[in-house]
């Protein structure tokens, strides 16, 4: 008999492949969209949403271990299709194929008391219900936040902790109970080693449960040596705004309301007595923080989550018209000037902006190509997009091309008598006016920062399985 595994190329799946309990089950059949170059498994290429590709491979399997999931900033439809409907389909096909056991690796988020704007958690909850209703011998594993080498969330947390200041979403009060990926793999292995599951639900967390603020500070000390300043960022208003936006079907943003839920609710495992490995044997918080701080692999380059703008023209329109670089810079100068000072640039400022893009002067043209260049593309869409992209750049790409362009423009605007007053003179209202405006600016910044920070911290992992 053999095991049918989904998500083998993912973060947990890769660690699970080396567990001896998996091999003890017999042959391993692994469904994945990307090639799986592992002699221990037989790769079945296919998408979870397409049963024709993998249906036959279920035959002869005793156990299904279902790891694959869509995480991050997926749309509600994607979450519905991959994290709920596809699981139901897999259950049906497994029952038909004579599979005996079904292990669903779910998430602690499925236990959140409220999931109105969190389609991922809702889908997982429905998938859990489907598993519980099946005729198979089932088990559900609900890990908390999973850290370890290659952890996408861990790398993002490390980057957040290394930022100029700590963005404490929701005040950093939510409790997280991080668990190491090897302990998750060991827990799956321990379940596989058991003969019967008989409807087991296992919450799995690490030995310690710090608040988000405590955890991020600890990582920051590992990364930068000092705790550094922190800024609390309210999350509930943002969730309401983004959730409404999503329900109204607004254009997709780099982050979703659901990605804020981890900062609204405690992600704590309700431990039963039968979770393996025992709590005391799991990787401790200090070890996980140290591993995160040391960065056992090259620090992940934070890739801009901002997608490039849609390409103009459609196939069949013929070759795209040649792009005039000066026209692009002129349009960019106008957008960025509106963003910085709310006015149109003079013809002189546009000329100087173009001159500032000459190669060989250490300006924006002299930076090597970088994934962060997509920030520039995104920022060109308009002043609001520029603001979101710039907030992100201010945190994670301070020396990048977008910041370099904006600083060049700022230097031009302050030197030009036509605009210098708009750049560098107080607004009317004195200290009181300044206080009110600062409060408004602060609120705007916090929203922009939260969108940007979440785009980094919980940006979507590629793929649905």
Partner 1 sequence: VRFTVVGSGASAVHFARSLLEAGHEVEMLDVGLDRPDPIRPEDSFEGLKRNLDDPVTHFLGEDFESVTWPGEAGEYYGFPPNKRHVFARTEDLRVEAKGFAPLLSFACGGLSEAWTGGAFPFSEGELVDFPFGWDELHPAYETVARRIGLTGERDDLVRHFPWHEDLLPPLDLDEHSRLLLEGARRHRDWLERELGCTIGRSRTATLSRDLGDRKACGYLGRCLGGCPTDSLWTPRSGLLDCRRFPGFRYRPGLRVRSFDADAAGLVRSVECERIDGGGRETVPVERLALAAGTLATGKIFLESWRRRTGEDARLGGLMDNRQVLLPFLNLRMIGRAHDPETYQYHQIALGLAAADPRDYVHGLVTTLKTASIHPIVPSLPFDLRTSLGIFRNVHAALGLVNVNFPDRRRDACGMRLGAAAGDEEPPLLVDYVPPSGEAARLRAATRRVTRALRKLGCLVPPGMSHRRPMGASVHYSGTLPMAASGGRFTTTPDGRSRDFENLWIVDGSTFPFLPAKNLTFTLMANAVRMAESISGSAP
In the complex, least distance from residue 352 CB atom to partner 1, rounded to whole angstroms: 5
- Check: CB of residue 228 under 8 Å from CB of residue 305: no
- Please check whether residue 402 is in contact with residue 367, taking contact to mean a CB–CB distance below 8 angstroms: no
- What are the structure tokens assigned to 227, written together? 């705790």
Quote the CA–CA distance of 140 and 131 in Å, as a whole number.
Answer: 8
Q: Exactly one of 34, 50, 415, 439 binds partner 1 (CB under 8 A); which one?
A: 415
On the 0-12 / 13-18 / 19+ scale of CB atoms within 10 A, 62 is middle
Contact call for residue 387 and partner 1 (CB under 8 A): yes
Q: Which is nearer to partner 1, 195 or 427 (CB)?
A: 427
358 contacts partner 1 (rule: CB under 8 A): yes
Q: Which of 361, 371, 382, 439 touches partner 1 by CB under 8 A?
A: 361
CB of 385 to partner 1, least distance (A): 12
DSSP string, 314-354: -TTS-SPPPP-HHHHHHHHHHHHHHHHHSSPPPHHHHHHHH
Decide: is 382 part of the binding site for partner 1 (CB under 8 A): no
Torsions phi, psi for 367 (to 5 deg): -85, 140
Strands (E), 16-152: 27-32, 42-45, 61-66, 101-105, 137-143, 146-147
CA atoms within 13 A on the CB side of 250: 13
Q: What's the CA gap between 75 and 66, in Å, rounded?
A: 21
Helix (H, G, I), strand (E, B) or coil at 369: coil
Report the candidate in 146, 167, 159, 269 with the shortest Cα–Cα distance to residue 223.
159
Site for partner 1 in 202-261 (CB under 8 A): 228-229, 231
* Contacts (Cβ under 8 Å, ≥6 apart) of 124: 69, 83, 84, 106, 107, 109, 110
Site for partner 1, residues 8 to 47, rule: CB under 8 A: none
Cβ contact 55:93 at 8 Å: yes
Residue 17 vs 385, nearer CB to partner 1:
385
| Of residues 18 and 438, the one with the C-beta less far from partner 1 | 438
Write the binding mask 328 to 357 for partner 1: x where contact by CB under 8 A, - elsewhere: -----------xxx------x---x--xx-
Q: Using the rule CB under 8 A, is 385 a contact of partner 1?
A: no
Q: Tell whether residue 412 is a contact of partner 1 (CB under 8 A).
A: yes
- Of 391, 453, 456, 457, which lies in the binding site for partner 1, with binding defined by CB under 8 A? 391
User: Among 245, 407, 461, 463, which residue sits at the site for partner 1 (rule: CB under 8 A)?
Assistant: 407
DSSP string, 41-66: SEEEE--TT-HHHHGGGGTTEEEEEE
Should residue 441 be labelled a site residue for partner 1 when binding is judged by CB under 8 A? yes
CB closer to partner 1, 47 vs 416: 416
Residue with smaller CB distance to partner 1, 225 or 319:
225
Q: State the Cα–Cα distance between residues 425 and 409, nearest whole angstrom.
A: 17
- Cβ distance to partner 1 smaller for residue 244 or 420: 420
Residue from the set 70, 158, 403, 459 that interacts with partner 1 by CB under 8 A = 403
Among 89, 434, 461, 463, binds partner 1 (CB under 8 A): 434
Which listed residue (67, 262, 406, 458) binds partner 1 by CB under 8 A? Answer: 406
Q: Which residue lies nearer to partner 1 by CB, 273 or 426?
A: 426
What is the contact mask toward partner 1 in residues 140 to 169, using x (rule: CB under 8 A)? Answer: ------------------------xx----
Instruction: By CB under 8 A, tell whether 439 contacts partner 1.
Output: no
The whole-angstrom separation of Cα 124 and Cα 175 is 21
Query: Which residues form the interface with partner 1 (CB under 8 A)?
Result: 164-165, 228-229, 231, 339-341, 348, 352, 355-356, 358, 360-363, 387, 390-391, 394, 398-400, 403-404, 406-408, 410-412, 414-417, 420, 423-427, 429-434, 437-438, 441-442, 444-445, 448
């Amino acid at each position: 008999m053999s095991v049918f595994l989904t998500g083998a190329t993912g973060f947990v799946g890769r660690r699970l492949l080396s567990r001896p309990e998996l091999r003890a089950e017999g042959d391993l059949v692994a469904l994945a969209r990307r090639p799986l170059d592992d002699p221990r498994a037989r790769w079945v290429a296919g998408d979870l949403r397409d049963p024709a590709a993998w249906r036959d491979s279920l035959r002869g399997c005793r156990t299904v271990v279902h790891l694959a999931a869509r995480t991050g900033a997926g749309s509600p439809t994607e979450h519905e299709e991959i994290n709920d409907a596809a699981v139901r389909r897999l259950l049906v096909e497994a029952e038909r194929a004579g599979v005996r056991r079904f292990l669903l690796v779910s998430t602690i988020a499925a236990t959140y008391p409220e999931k109105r704007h969190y389609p991922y958690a809702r889908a997982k909850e429905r998938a859990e219900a489907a598993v519980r209703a099946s005729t198979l011998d089932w088990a559900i594993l609900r890990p908390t936040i999973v850290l370890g080498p290659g952890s996408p969330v861990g790398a993002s947390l490390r980057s957040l902790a290394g930022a100029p200041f700590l963005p404490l979403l929701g005040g950093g009060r939510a409790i997280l109970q991080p668990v190491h990926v090897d302990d998750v793999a060991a827990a799956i292995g321990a379940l596989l080693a058991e003969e019967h599951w008989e409807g087991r639900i296992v919450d799995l967390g690490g030995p310690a449960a710090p608040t988000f603020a405590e955890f991020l500070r600890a990582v920051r000390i590992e990364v930068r040596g000092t705790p550094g300043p922190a800024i609390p960022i309210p999350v509930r208003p943002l969730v309401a705004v983004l959730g409404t936006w999503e329900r109204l079907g607004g254009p997709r943003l780099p982050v979703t309301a659901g990605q804020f839920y981890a900062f609204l609710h405690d992600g704590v495992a309700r431990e039963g007595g039968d979770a393996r490995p025992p709590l005391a044997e799991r990787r401790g918080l200090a070890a996980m923080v140290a591993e995160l701080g040391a960065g056992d692999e090259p620090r992940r380059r934070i890739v801009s989550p901002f997608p490039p703008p849609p390409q103009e023209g459609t196939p069949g329109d013929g070759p795209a018209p040649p792009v005039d670089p000066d026209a692009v810079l002129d349009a960019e100068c106008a957008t960025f000037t509106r963003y910085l000072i709310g006015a149109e640039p003079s013809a002189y400022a546009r000329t100087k902006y173009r001159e500032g893009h000459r190669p060989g002067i250490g300006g924006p043209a002299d930076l090597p190509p970088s994934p962060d260049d997509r920030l520039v593309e995104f920022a060109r869409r308009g002043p609001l997009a520029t603001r979101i992209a710039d907030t992100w750049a201010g945190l994670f790409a301070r020396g990048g091309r977008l910041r370099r362009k904006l600083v060049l423009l700022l230097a031009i605007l302050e030197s030009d008598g036509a605009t210098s007053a708009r750049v560098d003179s107080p607004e009317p209202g004195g200290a009181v006016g300044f206080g009110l405006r600062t409060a408004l600016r602060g609120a705007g910044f916090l929203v922009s920062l939260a969108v940007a920070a979440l785009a980094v911290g919980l940006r979507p992992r590629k793929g649905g399985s």
